[in-house]
Amino acid sequence: IRECVLPRRGPCGSNKVVTVDGMRVKLQIWDTAGQERFRSVTHAYYRDAQALLLLYDITNKASFDNIRAWLTEIHECAQRDVVIMLLGNKADVSNERVISSEDGETLAREYGVPFMETSAKTGMNVELAFLAIAKELKYRAGRQANEPSFQLRDYVESQKKRPSCCSFL
Ligand SMILES: Nc1nc2c(ncn2[C@@H]2O[C@H](COP(=O)(O)OP(=O)(O)OP(=O)(O)O)[C@@H](O)[C@H]2O)c(=O)[nH]1
């Protein structure tokens, strides 16, 4: 999620407006369009991003294993205070799951980032992911001295839906 100042090499211009505490926050969303599979996403793509959503597919171990490499790279190349969220997508197909929720939680805890499982198919937690990012960015932009800090991880933990675990019951 960044301001669109780069040449339009990648998909640019997918905007999403989220209302946070009565204020409209416009997010501009950049999708890496497949390059991530080849680790060819240029630094310029995410160097100036204010927030990064890292998605893996809960039915694909390689996508999960890649996350560690991305977190390392982001640590080196992205903005120092970039907001990161780890998302385990395809939570609707739990019968094909190879990565448990606990594995996602553990990785997220190790890197100190919020985590939730999502489904682009059912919409589970999708709005929440954008809302949480927008809340954090709005909070940072208008932060007043003595204002209690917004705890992104706590917010996500309190709001996220968990996939129903027992579709076979
Ligand atoms: N069941 C299910 N299928 C999904 C979900 N999200 C994506 N898919 C499917 O997974 C496939 C890949 O989705 P994409 O959105 O193209 O994935 P991507 O990683 O962005 O792929 P690139 O655009 O090539 O980078 C498509 O067939 C989607 O319909 C989900 O939450 N649940």
Residue 147 counted as domain residue: yes
Q: CA-to-CA distance for 41 and 111, rounded, in angstroms?
A: 21
Residue 72 counted as domain residue: yes
- ipTM rounded to 2 decimals: 0.95
Measured from CB, residues less than 6 Å from any atom of ligand 1 are: 33-34, 89-90, 92-93, 119-121
User: What CATH code is carried by the domain that includes residue 28?
Assistant: 3.40.50.300
pLDDT at 42: 72
Ligand 1 test: best mutation among 90, 97, 99, 161, most atoms within 8 Å of CB?
90
Residues 125-136: tens digit of each pLDDT: 999 999 999 999
pLDDT surpasses 50 at 5: no
What angle, 0 to 180 degrees and rounded to 10, lies between the N-to-C axes of helices 152-159 and 126-141?
150
Residue whose Cα lies nearest atom 22 of ligand 1: it is 34
Q: Identify the domain containing residue 92 by its residue range.
A: 12-160
Q: Of 9-18, 57-66, 67-76, 137-146, give the range with the top mean pLDDT.
A: 57-66
Q: Model confidence at 13, in pLDDT bands (50, 70, 90)?
A: low
Helix residue spans in the chain (DSSP H) = 43-46, 61-77, 101-111, 126-141, 152-159
pLDDT surpasses 60 at 6: no
Identify the CA nearest to 113 among candidates 73, 78, 82, 77: 82
Residue 31 counted as domain residue: yes
Ligand 1 test: best mutation among 119, 124, 161, most atoms within 8 Å of CB?
119
Q: How far is the CA of 88 from the centre of ligand 1 (A)?
A: 12
Q: CA-to-CA distance for 76 and 37, rounded, in angstroms?
A: 19
Residue 100 counted as domain residue: yes
Q: How far is the CA of 23 from the centre of ligand 1 (A)?
A: 31
Residues 40-96: tens digit of each pLDDT: 677 777 888 999 999 999 999 999 999 999 898 888 888 888 999 999 999 999 999
Question: In this structure, what token pair is assigned to residue 157?
Answer: 């933990």
Atom of ligand 1 nearest to the CA of 120: 31
Q: How far is the CA of 121 from the centre of ligand 1 (A)?
A: 9
Residue 56 counted as domain residue: yes
Q: Of 9-13, 56-60, 163-167, give the range with the top mean pLDDT.
A: 56-60
pTM, two decimals, is: 0.87
Residue 47 counted as domain residue: yes
Total structural domains in the chain?
A: 1
Residue 146 counted as domain residue: yes
Residue 5 counted as domain residue: no
Atom of ligand 1 nearest to the CA of 89: 31
Q: CA-to-CA distance for 58 and 56, rounded, in angstroms?
A: 6
